[in-house]
Amino acid sequence: MVGTTAGPERVQARYGRAIERRDGRDFPYYDGDPLPLSILQWVAVIAACAVGFLVLSFTPAADNVQSLVPRFLFAAIPLAVFIVFTRRHWSRIFQRTTGRDVLTMVLFAIANIVVSFAMGILVKYVFGANANGATDGVHGAAEITAFYLGTAIQLFGEELFSILPFLAVMSFCFRGGMSRNRAVLVAWLVTAVWFGAAHLPTYDWNFAQALLVIGVARLVLTLAYIRTKNIAVSTGAHIINDWVLFTSTILTTGALL
């Protein structure tokens, strides 16, 4: 670990350059920069993430075109609540995205595919596994276009669903007396479980598959945010990862024909 100064009063021990870039960036909000959020405000943000997830899960949709609405609301609901509390500072979850960041997206997507594949084989061998039916019924140009557009929106929503609670848990821990780095570690692990648990219905309540495969994949994706402090990077890595997997499935099932 190294000490990094991100501002005149922001001197917190940080992870080394293998984990965090030496670019002076730090996580927003947890120590009051650029503004503090109260515990109740953070709870409201987490609740908004849960509401968005429920809308996504239970809004009837006959096809991917109709699914665009709940997918949009999944991202819009927590983001809207977050903006209400953070006002003009909401964009601090983003950073200017550079060519270096695009390369980081690709590298984390590759790492995630490798890790997920390895964990998937292990879990399937030990516990059994269920298929993800995300591409079921995707046939024809309109459906495929709506599917890729909709999944891009949904995956941004999944990043909000993970990163906003990550920042909330980090803030809770830091206020409770934990060091900055320990708070990062706890938030990283807690939100991986949170994200994995949200996928339980997708995998027919296979706890091992949701928590080990999806939870571990979430650790990799959140690490992309930890490294860059830019939700655009973790979102890009997530989209590349899932689109590669979705496209391979669509091609092998002949949905493009």
Q: Which long-range contacts (CB under 8 A, 24 or more apart) does 151-155 make?
A: 151/71, 151/239, 151/242, 151/243, 151/246, 152/239, 153/68, 153/71, 153/72, 153/74, 153/75, 154/56, 154/71, 154/74, 154/75, 155/235, 155/238, 155/239, 155/242
Report helix, strand or coil for 2: strand
User: Of 91, 100, 56, 96, which is closest to residue 77 (Cα–Cα)?
Assistant: 56
Spans of all domains in the chain: 2-89+98-253
Kindly report, residue by residue over 96-124, the tens digit of the pLDDT: 999 999 999 999 999 999 999 999 999 99
Asked whether residue 130 carries a pLDDT value surpassing 60, the answer given is yes
Kindly report, residue by residue over 4-35, the tens digit of the pLDDT: 334 434 557 889 999 999 998 999 999 999 99
pLDDT confidence band for 256 (50 / 70 / 90): low
Q: What is the pLDDT of residue 140?
A: 83
